[in-house]
Structure formats: structure tokens, C-alpha cells
Amino acid sequence: MKLDTIKINGFGKIKNKEIKLKDGINIIYGENESGKSTILKFIESMLYGLSKNKNGKNKSDFDRYQPWEDLEFSGKIKYTLQNGEEYEVFREFKKKNPIIYNSFNEDISKQFKVDKSTGISFFEEQVGADRISFCNTAMIRQQEIKLEKADTNAMIQKISNLVTTGDDTISFKKSIERLNKMQNERIGTQRTRQKPINIVESNIRNLLENKKELSLYHKNAENSAKDYEKIDQEIKVLRAQKENLKQTKQSVNENKIQNMEQKFKKKICIFLLLFFIITAVLLSATLKMFAIAIIPVILAILDGFVIMKINASFEPKTAKLDSYQIEKELEKIEAKINDLKLQNHILEKEKSNLDEKLEKLAKIEEDLEEQNEIKDELISLDMSFNLAKECLEEAYDEMKHNISPKFERRLCEIIAEITENKYQNISVNDETGLNIEVENGAYLPVENLSVGTIDEMYLSLRLSMLAEVSKEDLPIFLDESFAYFDNQRLKNMLCYLQDKNYNHQIIIFTCSNREEIALNELKIEYHRIDLEK
């Protein structure tokens, strides 16, 4: 791949700038703060988009690179792939997707896949390199090296990260440590205290104890309800008995009245009989007449007795009951009813208390269900952490056994060439980190080397990874990457870039003339772009 033209309408401090590049080595010269790093960011943003996410920074890249003046926030780049196909990309950064043109100026944007978060992934489809891989290999920015000079250990760690994980920002050990820390903070273990899993398990234990205690009240409530129902039924039975006795009492009273009426009738009958007898005697003048008169009297007497006998046979039996006993029985029933009412009143009070307990039990059961759900989520999250660590370990083993040795061999070859065989063997292991073989054959920690040598290793390793990240020979962007190289190291590196990377377009951003002097002395052709003109 060759980058042909860069046209910036407005991006950060840069406006209306067009840069034409050539094959081989290109030097883009500019004083400090002239916009070299901004141009590098523009190229990345044209290919992969400009994020509006802050990602922990004070400003997002979108806000940071808004034009300083009231200009169109846009630009265009033109590049050629190894198969000879030419493309132009125009991007208005306020819009999500760019417009991609082919060599016939036809809009072919719809031919590429669209990612919901990043937009059209045209460049990744074309060259096979995602943004992270591209930036970690093809783009070596000034801050990638310069900011680490105060701490060479940090630079060595970046090299170790590249060898062991393929990304200089990712350390396997630190990744595992971070995962363990996150797992411990967000979940915890059986040995920890006051961590989420400990808190939820403690809550569950307490809730289960409270539930066990209150479950007894649940049984009591059931028994109380049964007792209340039983007593209520007894009261109904007693009330029925009471009503029957009342009716019986009323019947007894009615029978008494009827008896009194019968006795009165008897007396009337006797009186009438006597009256008839006396009348008959007085009226009979003779014995014959007496005999004739006595027959009706006798018949009347007999008739009266018969009537009284008949009436006696129809006297209600209830008349024989004792009204006093009925009253006493009614009092007993009323007393029982009142006693049962008192018992139910007590049960109602107990029920009110039990209902309150049962409400607490229901709330405990809800809380218990919620805590169990939280525990299940924590267990699931814990399994996810363990799975992530397993996957990371598998990837690390794969990198360490299959890819890292290849990187190490390439790194050794590059280091041997640019240091004129002073250093030839480099090894990386989990215990001692990055080590290098010195002249006497001993392996020493890379910390013992100079900052310049460490820079060489870092740059060399990035270059050694280029073939792995893309199916294209990507341009190599170097932003003040030789600041800590002495003149000989600089010449060695430029020779290496010319001889071993001749298929790659080299774009060097610099604020000095050291690279030009070295290239002139080496008689290596280059193309210079002066940002001040």
C-alpha cells in the first residue's frame, strides 16, 4: 500500500494543507508544534474514524481535533493498494461514515460492511488490519517513545508486552492481576470479608434464620384459624339451641294458658250439670216425671265427663315441662356463647399479631429471593471472570509457544543488523522479563542497556510485527522516533529501513535535519515535505 495524497480542509490547528507523498522514504519536516503529530492523527482518523468517546480522557479526539478556526471539519486521502487499485476517501468528521471512491470516481461506500459503533470498516476489509494492530505496528508516534524516557523499565515492559501478547499496551501478568483484582472487588471469595459475595451470603443466612423463626408463626396462624372456625361453629350450634329453647319456653307458656282455659270450661260444665239436675228435680212433680227427667240429666252428666276426658287427652305435653328449668338452660347456653365469644376475641387479637408476623415472613421471603438472585448473578459473573482468565491464559500460551518465538527471532535478526552484531540473542520469560545476550555470553536484563538501545529494540520489534498484522505492505510512520539514537544507530536503522523494508513506504516526521544528513551520507534517495511552506 502506498499513501499518495493527504488533503486537510480543517483538522486541529491545520487548515487547507495538501501533502503529496512518493514511494520509498518521505521526510515531513516541521518545527515543534507545527502539526506533525496532528497530521499523523488525521491519517489514522481518515482510515478508521474519529471517536467521540472520551475513554477516560478530558476530551474526546473529536473535540480535541475540532478546527481551531471556523473551517470545514473534513479532509481526503488517496492511496494505492498492492494490486494497483486506487481509492480516494473523503470524510466529513461530523458525519459517521466517509465516502469511498474508486479510480473511476464512483462511490463504492455501500460495498463495505457497516459497524454500528465505528461506521464503515472499509480500510480493515481492504488491508486486514484493525485499528489497534495498525497503530501498534505501522504508526510509531513521538509520545510512544519520548514519554517513557524517564522510566526505562516502562519501555522494557512495553517491549515484553509486544513479544508476549502482540500489543505493547497489554501485559499478560498485569491483565491477570487486574482481572483478579476486579474479581475480588466485584465478587470476593470465601476468605474475604465485606465483599459482595460475603455480604449476600451473610444476608441469606440471616434471612433463613428469621424465616425459620417466623415459620413457626405460620403454623400457629393455621391452627388459630382452625380454632376460630371451630368456636364460631360451636357458637352457631348454641345459638340454634338457644332459639329452640326460646320457642319451647313460648310453647310452655301457651300451654299453661290453654290449661287454665280447660279448667275454666270444666267448672262451667259442672255448674251447668248441677243446674240441670236441680231444675229437673224442681220441675218433676211426680216420681214418674222425676224418672223421665233424670235420664236427660244423667246423659248430660255423662256427656260432660266425656267432653272433659276428651279435652284432657288433648293437653299439650309441653305443659308438663318446667319453665324454670328452661330459663336456667338458656342462661347456661348464653354463658357458653359469651365464653366462646371471648375466646374468639382473644384469637382475633392473636391473629392480628400473627398477621404482622406473616407479613414480615412474606417480606423475608421476597428479600431472600432477591438475595439469591444477586448471589446467582455474582456466581455467574465469577464464572465469567474465570472463563476470561482461562481464555487469556490459552491465548498467552498460544502466543508464547507459537508467535512469540517468531517475534523473538525477527527481533534478534533486526537487533543484530542495526547493532552490527553487538547484540544477537534476546529472550523473554515470565520470571526475569526481557533479557539480552552480551559479548561474554551472559544474559543480562535489558534494564542494563542504554536508552538508545532499548529504543532500537522497541522500534525493531514493531517493524518485525508488520508482516503479521496485514496482507498489505503498510506504510511505516515514524514520528520523531530517532530522537535518542546516536548518529551511527540512526544510519544503521535507515539502512535497515531501506534494505529490508523497501516494499514499505517510509514516512518520517522530524523537526531536525539529522535524518536528511544521514540519508545524504548513505546516498539514499528521499522525498522532503516542508510543512512551513
| Alpha helix (H) residue ranges in 284-322 | 287-313
Contacts for 411-417: CB closer than 8 Å, 24+ residues apart? 411/163, 411/457, 411/460, 411/461, 411/464, 413/464, 414/460, 414/461, 414/463, 414/464, 414/496, 414/500, 415/456, 415/457, 415/460, 417/492, 417/496, 417/500
Q: Where are the beta strands (DSSP E) in 66-200?
A: 74-80, 86-92, 99-101, 114-115, 119-120, 139-140
Residue 257 corresponds to which amino acid?
Answer: I
Dihedral over alpha carbons 465, 466, 468, 472 (to 10 degrees): 180
Residue-level pLDDT, tens digit, the chain, 533 residues? 999 999 999 999 999 999 999 999 999 999 888 889 899 999 999 999 998 888 777 889 999 999 988 789 999 999 999 999 999 999 999 988 999 999 999 999 999 988 877 788 899 999 988 888 888 788 887 555 433 434 444 444 555 565 556 565 667 777 888 889 998 999 988 888 889 999 998 999 888 888 787 666 656 656 666 766 787 787 788 778 778 877 777 777 777 677 777 777 777 877 777 777 777 667 665 555 555 555 555 555 555 554 445 444 444 444 445 667 777 777 788 788 788 777 767 766 766 666 676 677 788 888 889 999 999 999 999 999 899 888 878 877 776 676 667 767 777 877 787 777 888 887 766 666 677 888 788 888 777 777 777 777 777 777 777 777 788 899 999 998 888 788 888 898 898 888 876 688 999 999 999 999 999 999 999 999 998 87
Q: Are strands 139-140 and 119-120 parallel, antiparallel or unpaired?
A: unpaired
- Burial annotation 409-445 (CB, 10 A radius, 16+ → b, else e): ebbbebbbbbbeeebebbebeeeebbbbeeeeeeeee
Q: Do the beta carbons of residue 314 and residue 258 sit within 8 Å?
A: no
For 163-190, give the DSSP string.
HHHS-TT--HHHHHHHHHHHHHHHT--T
Contacts of 465 (CB under 8 A, 6+ apart): 136, 137, 162, 166, 407
Cα–Cα dist 460/443, whole Å:
19
Chain centroid to Cα 217, Å, comes to: 37
Q: Do the beta carbons of residue 120 and residue 126 sit within 8 Å?
A: no
If DSSP codes are grouped into helix, strand and coil, which group holds residue 349?
Answer: helix
Cα–Cα dist 28/505, whole Å:
13
Q: Domain 2-151+469-530: state its class.
A: alpha beta
pTM exceeds 0.85 for this model:
no
Cα–Cα dist 132/142, whole Å:
17
